[in-house]
Amino acid sequence: MVDTMARLALLVLVLVGCGSTGTLSGPEPLTDAGPALDMDGADAASEPDAGAEFQPDAGVARPVDGGPAPDAGPPETDGGPAPTPDAGVVAPEPIPGDDVRMTFATVNIGRNYGTRAQVASVIRRVADVVGSKLGDQFIGWQEIGEGDPCGGCELEIVQSAFGSGGGWNTWRPAGTRPDGANERVKVPVTARRANGGASARAAFASPGWAGVSPTRFVTVVHYPQRNLSMINTHLIAGAWSCKSNRDQRRDYWRRGWDTLKAQVRREHDRGRNVIVTGDLNRPRGANSCNPAWDPTSLHGQARIIGGAGIDYVFAVPAPGWSFAFDRRGDDSIRRGSFDLGIDSHRGHWVTGRFGVR
């Protein structure tokens, strides 16, 4: 009995020394183990870098029409600046020639002068008048190098008065006659500030006729920076003024007119705005020598915007475009005429704009 009681007392002492019966004495629980990991191993509690806004696909250029993005390609390695969030959005290019102010002039300098100084003063007057007008400037010349008293001086003076230093360029292409020979036109075109990428050509209009008419051409200059084709010509005289050999004159005139119409149609069909300048040697109004006609039969979209008498400026807007006159503060149209002092012609100019409708 004594042995049994001693064993019980010893057991109680052991239990008291190890702690109470409701508590396990193992190690302290961990309190800095951090957040749990998700199934992919990423930190479930992480946030985007607070120093920069998160921009998904910021470096991928996307089409502005909302279509699928193109392949971003390999990562950049040139160390350049990081793309901005809108780097993939490209602003639309401006439409060439849309709402650009331009001045157009037609000038027949004639041949009735005696000295180089006289014709030089006329050409410099054209430079002063047209060069002072608003916007880009375009001039269609007639009778440059056409049996002139000073020979080739006219073109030399034009190139001097309208030099490249002032932003001018003069186009005088060679045309091909029916016999295959080439000949420089007498109807050049001069322009300012719109000559980048321009190109010129000449289309045969009517044959030469000794003592009556030189070979006639239609000059076409395309100015892609303005979506503009400038067409200039000079048709045979006397067809509509009761001169001798009327039938042959009218035949040559109609050939030139048909060529002019074909060139206007060609340029218009290519989506280009067209300006036509020229001495058509046919008045607007009917008389005993000139049956009634419609000059705007040149083209279905043609309208006369300047000139007087037998000198014309037409506008032929491209499909989807229109032409508007530039106006002064009193709402009058910016256009006019000025004396040349040679023959009976005057210079004529008009300012306006082509615009997308």
Measure the CA–CA gap between 95 and 89, rounded to whole angstroms.
18
Structure-model confidence comparison of residues 60 and 186, the more confident one: 186
**Residue 273 domain flag:** yes
Joined together, the tokens standing for residue 119 give: 């014709």
As a whole number, the mean pLDDT across the chain is 82
Q: Residues 314, 276: contact at Cβ < 8 Å? A: yes
**Residue 17 domain flag:** no
pTM above 0.95, yes or no: no
Range of the domain at 258: 100-356
Structure-model confidence comparison of residues 74 and 231, the more confident one: 231
Measure the CA–CA gap between 242 and 290, rounded to whole angstroms.
8
> 64 falls in which pLDDT band (50, 70, 90)?
very low
Structure-model confidence comparison of residues 116 and 64, the more confident one: 116
Q: Which of 301, 234, 306, 313 is nearest to 268 (CA)?
A: 301
Predicted confidence at residue 112, as pLDDT, reads: 79
Q: Residues 314, 303: contact at Cβ < 8 Å? A: yes
**Residue 211 domain flag:** yes
**Residue 87 domain flag:** no
**Residue 160 domain flag:** yes
**Residue 22 domain flag:** no
How many folded domains does the chain comprise? Answer: 1
Predicted confidence at residue 147, as pLDDT, reads: 75
Q: What angle do CA 100, 101, 107 make, to 5 degrees?
A: 130
Measure the CA–CA gap between 190 and 208, rounded to whole angstroms.
25
- How much is the average pLDDT of 148-164? 89
CATH number at residue 237: 3.60.10.10
**Residue 67 domain flag:** no
Q: How many CB atoms lie within 10 A of CB 315?
A: 23
* List of residues 6+ apart from 129 with CB closer than 8 A: 338, 347, 349
Measure the CA–CA gap between 211 and 253, rounded to whole angstroms.
16
> 215 falls in which pLDDT band (50, 70, 90)?
very high
* Residue 127 predicted with pLDDT over 80: yes
**Residue 55 domain flag:** no
Predicted confidence at residue 246, as pLDDT, reads: 95
